[in-house]
A and B are shown apart, each in its own frame.
Chain A
């Protein structure tokens, strides 16, 4: 113990002696507290969060990146524990996002140009084996091809984690499909199923979304279900099954929003504006993600690359 103490004391004193005056010049006259930007565990979000962070830093703000779960983050933003989320997905996050918005702590910071889609997806090699795809009726005819021992003779649909609120089992029932949903516990499990099936060229149909890194790595398409309408989730009589909800596909052009803590407005007024102005389109998001997924940079370097090559885009946000 005494040894450790003396190590600590000598280290600290040595450290204090070794000051060198490299004073950081700040331009903003607002709070020096760090703006906490949420990072999640998929690459486009990580890079975009770092892009936003680096833009803010270039304007003299201090930034901190806080990792978070994609659902818990909204409570945290509403509480002011975190301040900004650059990717809010309609399909999987709308519910918790709107819940947090109701409390007043979280504010909708506008919609990106980018659109999102979250639905059933299959690799392209299935087009030959199951003619008629991507139509869902054709898929249903091939159901047995997709079966595994525990679902046979029904086809297996590898679904998202049960808490993502997607109602796929209800859709299967409403459309009378010969499929069974097997939910996974996390996205990585979905991708392992896909990777393994893809390597072995096995039939597989699973949950996927766009934009994400999967498009860059695997060739495939979304299944076309009956067109989405809001009424489909609220009115049983809507759609081809008059007695059931969810007899339709997911929105083909879902929104992608930003979420911000209401306190940012008073604490960092200029950043509040910048963060509202942030706006990515699909191509920019895909490019940002591919720095990480294809070129193997880490998210920090990827963001640097993006910021360097898209100056004309983001300079409009800061002015």
Chain B
């Protein structure tokens, strides 16, 4: 840097504003790093011989755990198998009840669909009245008339066991954390990594330990949804006012009573939010879990896609969305139920819903013995809109392709190939130095050490090249998603009608299985990086929209009024007042967009790619646990580094604007 050594450092600031100094230092660091990499080839590409074979160690370790670890009387494998045997019982009974029926001593039919329909309606009515009741029944009816009942029940039987299981483990871990600071700090780090690791990376170890089928699929669901419950528990218990706890302690509560009678009831609402999130995450796993043998809607959906029956797949995807919406609405309504409702005195009044359901159940089970149409909806009566969608996609691919092709070719050749080349030739020393400097500037030495440690791990374990390919895809996808998302977010914040439409689309996009839109994307954009990016966009734009909308709608109205009064035009108001105030939220949205894009690379790997997502996908069939798990961790590391950088930046920014954090 050019500085006049005669002047004291304080004078220097007059010539260079902090921003300029920052840019100059960055440029200087890049130049030094590039110069260094020219001297030593090892600083450009990490030599293959220097790669630490961590992934082979991990694979060998998992193999040893699952095959050879022997405690004398029994093997480690027997423990995991025993555990999955134990879990298979509740699952077995929920399957018997929902779709399997039972033929042991006699024949027991599964719940007939009309009884289930009435049951869902009664639950809806019991919790939130007629509107919810009718809504839930309509969604359930969809499953019936589109002939998806049995598959939906297969999926639901998994969810029905996984959710209570996951919620109770999460609750226990959450409670443990609030009691023990050490446990909390350890669990927090573990949860961070668990939530940043793509779902698919878990599947390898699960197969090794638990084998294939419904139970391992359920384990995958539990593992993925449990951290949220734990987090909500910690949050909920922490927010119970100290005075309440004091009062309870003074009146002589034991620790157990304190937890069950005071803290948990007081934190009920947050806990219900956790439960709701557990349900949503579990259903989000429905398709991915079918890769390790879950039968049901997810498996049928993947099969339809193999047949290119996009319409059928869409019907199945909508069924998953409906299951999710019904469970979501019911659990949300349960969470928002006003406390202290009047309880009727008479027994039959108090239990009217249960009694009605029991009657419906008995009646329809009896009728189903006579008329099989009540246990299996006749195929001749089912509806379908699949062929219409298939035709639509075909029409679109025929008529739009001539317009899309030139754009596709230009974007690919002029932009994508060049950016990709840039990421591939970029020496690792340059990437690491810039990352290190940024981390140090934003978060001090702690962030510096952490980020460098995480990124060096990716380098040393030999995942640098796929990691750079991931960065390339994700980077472009994030830029586009953020532009679209922030614009739509701004528009929504200023127009309630747009907001309503945009948020509904966001909800749908989030629960609709992303596997489905890969097919039309490939038909129009062909296999290639652009297809990957387009498929990521559909999913990753959602958080940018949500957070921008949230940030802008949370601005205090008097701030806006003040701006209007002082004569701002709408454009000035947006640029000088609204966006700067909402910037921290918007950046958190971008942060979520980054995480979503990283997750989506494991799914777009199905299109064809050369990134970390592909590594995970490739590791799955060969039971190459180390490769899949470490590639998953590498994705988690990229996510965590970005997350910490953005948080550090948002904190700095909030502090500089005089807003307190939290």
Contacting A at CB under 8 A, from B352-386, are 353-354, 357-358, 361-362, 365-366, 369
Q: Is A67 an interface residue (CB 8 A)?
A: yes
Supposing A7-B357, A67-B290 touch, asked if A185 and B105 sit within 8 A by C-beta, the answer is no
Choose, from A107-115, A167-175, A187-195, A278-286, the stretch at the interface.
A187-195
Contacting B at CB under 8 A, from A202-234, are 213
Contacts of A22 in B (CB 8 A): 103, 106-107
Instruction: Give A68 to B417 CA distance when docked, in angstroms.
Output: 37
The chain B residue with its CB closest to the CB of A13 is B358
Contacting B at CB under 8 A, from A31-48, are 41-43, 46
Interface digits, A71-115 against B, CB 8 Å rule (1 contact, 0 not)?
111011001011000000000000010000000000000000000
Contacts of B413 in A (CB 8 A): 149-150
Q: Is A14 an interface residue (CB 8 A)?
A: yes
Q: Are the C-beta atoms of A189 and B608 separated by less than 8 Å?
A: yes
Instruction: Give A79 to B109 CA distance when docked, in angstroms.
Output: 33
How many Å from the CB of A20 to the closest CB on chain B? 6
Contacts of B308 in A (CB 8 A): 188, 191-192, 195
Choose, from B10-18, B51-59, B617-625, the stretch at the interface.
B617-625
Q: Are the C-beta atoms of B397 and A199 separated by less than 8 Å?
A: yes
Instruction: Give A114 to B162 CA distance when docked, in angstroms.
Output: 42
Q: Are the C-beta atoms of A193 and B526 separated by less than 8 Å?
A: yes
Contacts of B107 in A (CB 8 A): 19-24
How many Å from the CB of B451 to the closest CB on chain A? 30
Instruction: Give A69 to B408 CA distance when docked, in angstroms.
Output: 33
Q: Are the C-beta atoms of B607 and A189 separated by less than 8 Å?
A: yes
Q: How many residues of B contact A (CB 8 A)?
A: 69
Contacts of A7 in B (CB 8 A): 119, 354, 357
How many Å from the CB of B368 to the closest CB on chain A? 10
Q: Are the C-beta atoms of B412 and A189 separated by less than 8 Å?
A: no
A-B residue pair count with CB separations less than 8 angstroms: 175
Contacts of B608 in A (CB 8 A): 161, 182-185, 189
Instruction: Give A249 to B308 CA distance when docked, in angstroms.
Output: 28
Q: Are the C-beta atoms of B617 and A185 separated by less than 8 Å?
A: yes
Q: Is A66 an interface residue (CB 8 A)?
A: yes
Q: Are the C-beta atoms of A188 and B361 separated by less than 8 Å?
A: no
Instruction: Give A79 to B67 CA distance when docked, in angstroms.
Output: 10
Q: Are the C-beta atoms of B401 and A200 separated by less than 8 Å?
A: yes
Q: Are the C-beta atoms of A196 and B606 separated by less than 8 Å?
A: no
Contacts of A23 in B (CB 8 A): 105-107
Q: Is B409 an interface residue (CB 8 A)?
A: yes
Q: Are the C-beta atoms of A189 and B527 separated by less than 8 Å?
A: yes
Contacts of B614 in A (CB 8 A): 162, 185
The chain A residue with its CB closest to the CB of B529 is A150
Contacts of A24 in B (CB 8 A): 103, 107
Supposing A66-B212, A185-B614 touch, asked if A192 and B609 sit within 8 A by C-beta, the answer is no
Contacts of A69 in B (CB 8 A): 291-292, 620-621
Q: Are the C-beta atoms of B523 and A192 separated by less than 8 Å?
A: yes
Q: Is B263 an interface residue (CB 8 A)?
A: no
Supposing A149-B409, A149-B413, A199-B398 touch, asked if A189 and B357 sit within 8 A by C-beta, the answer is no
Contacts of A41 in B (CB 8 A): 299, 302-303, 306
Q: Are the C-beta atoms of B523 and A195 separated by less than 8 Å?
A: yes
Q: Is the interface of B mostly helix, strand, loop or mixed?
A: helix
Instruction: Give A278 to B436 CA distance when docked, in angstroms.
Output: 63
Among A11, A42, A163, A183, contact of B306 (Cβ-Cβ < 8 Å): A42
Q: Are the C-beta atoms of B354 and A3 separated by less than 8 Å?
A: yes
Supposing A67-B293, A186-B606 touch, asked if A10 and B354 sit within 8 A by C-beta, the answer is yes
Q: Are the C-beta atoms of B106 and A14 separated by less than 8 Å?
A: no
Contacts of B295 in A (CB 8 A): 65, 67
Instruction: Give A184 to B604 CA distance when docked, in angstroms.
Output: 10
How many Å from the CB of A195 to the closest CB on chain B? 6
Contacts of A186 in B (CB 8 A): 606
Supposing A6-B354, A66-B212 touch, asked if A196 and B524 sit within 8 A by C-beta, the answer is yes
The chain B residue with its CB closest to the CB of A184 is B608
Among A65, A192, A292, contact of B519 (Cβ-Cβ < 8 Å): A192
Q: Is A29 an interface residue (CB 8 A)?
A: no
Instruction: Give A7 to B356 CA distance when docked, in angstroms.
Output: 10
Q: Are the C-beta atoms of A66 and B394 separated by less than 8 Å?
A: no
Supposing A66-B212, A72-B207, A188-B306 touch, asked if A193 and B618 sit within 8 A by C-beta, the answer is no
Q: Are the C-beta atoms of A67 and B622 separated by less than 8 Å?
A: no
Interface digits, B511-530 against A, CB 8 Å rule (1 contact, 0 not)?
00000001110111011100
Contacts of B605 in A (CB 8 A): 185
How many Å from the CB of B502 to the closest CB on chain A? 29
Q: Are the C-beta atoms of B417 and A150 separated by less than 8 Å?
A: yes
Q: Are the C-beta atoms of A149 and B607 separated by less than 8 Å?
A: no
Q: Are the C-beta atoms of B522 and A193 separated by less than 8 Å?
A: yes
How many Å from the CB of A8 to the closest CB on chain B? 9
Contacts of B522 in A (CB 8 A): 189, 192-193, 196
Q: Is B262 an interface residue (CB 8 A)?
A: no
Q: Is B351 an interface residue (CB 8 A)?
A: yes
Contacts of A21 in B (CB 8 A): 105-107
Q: Are the C-beta atoms of A188 and B362 separated by less than 8 Å?
A: no
Q: Are the C-beta atoms of A184 and B527 separated by less than 8 Å?
A: yes
Q: Is A245 an interface residue (CB 8 A)?
A: no
* Most A Cβ at <10 Å: residue of B293, B295, B361: B293
Q: Are the C-beta atoms of A10 and B357 separated by less than 8 Å?
A: yes
Q: Are the C-beta atoms of B106 and A20 separated by less than 8 Å?
A: yes
The chain A residue with its CB closest to the CB of B401 is A200
Instruction: Give A189 to B531 CA distance when docked, in angstroms.
Output: 11
Among A19, A71, A191, A193, contact of B621 (Cβ-Cβ < 8 Å): A71
How many Å from the CB of B394 to the closest CB on chain A? 6
Interface digits, A147-163 against B, CB 8 Å rule (1 contact, 0 not)?
01110000000100111
How many Å from the CB of A188 to the closest CB on chain B? 5
Supposing A6-B354, A149-B413 touch, asked if A18 and B519 sit within 8 A by C-beta, the answer is no
The chain A residue with its CB closest to the CB of B524 is A196
Among A18, A150, A162, contact of B365 (Cβ-Cβ < 8 Å): A18
Instruction: Give A65 to B290 CA distance when docked, in angstroms.
Output: 13
How many Å from the CB of B313 to the closest CB on chain A? 10
The chain B residue with its CB closest to the CB of A5 is B354
Q: Is B213 an interface residue (CB 8 A)?
A: yes
Contacts of A70 in B (CB 8 A): 621
Supposing A68-B212, A76-B212 touch, asked if A187 and B306 sit within 8 A by C-beta, the answer is yes
Interface digits, B71-103 against A, CB 8 Å rule (1 contact, 0 not)?
000000000000000000000000001000001
Q: Are the C-beta atoms of B621 and A163 separated by less than 8 Å?
A: yes
Contacts of A15 in B (CB 8 A): 97, 108, 361, 365
Interface digits, A106-146 against B, CB 8 Å rule (1 contact, 0 not)?
00000000000000000000000000000000000000000
Contacts of B398 in A (CB 8 A): 199-200
Q: Is B389 an interface residue (CB 8 A)?
A: no
Among A46, A148, A150, contact of B303 (Cβ-Cβ < 8 Å): A46
The chain B residue with its CB closest to the CB of A12 is B97
4 tightest Cβ-Cβ pairs between the two chains A and B? A71-B621, A22-B107, A149-B409, A196-B523
Q: B: which residues have CB within 8 A of A?
A: 97, 103, 105-109, 111, 119, 126, 207, 211-213, 290-295, 299, 302-303, 305-308, 351, 353-354, 357-358, 361-362, 365-366, 369, 394, 397-398, 401, 408-410, 412-413, 417, 518-520, 522-524, 526-528, 604-609, 614, 617-618, 620-623
Q: List 11 A-B contacts (CB under 8 A).
A: A7-B354, A10-B354, A20-B107, A67-B299, A68-B212, A76-B212, A148-B409, A150-B412, A163-B618, A192-B523, A196-B401
Q: A24-B103, A42-B306 are in contact. List 11 more A-B contacts (CB 8 A).
A: A6-B354, A11-B361, A14-B362, A22-B106, A81-B213, A150-B528, A185-B606, A196-B397, A196-B522, A196-B526, A199-B397
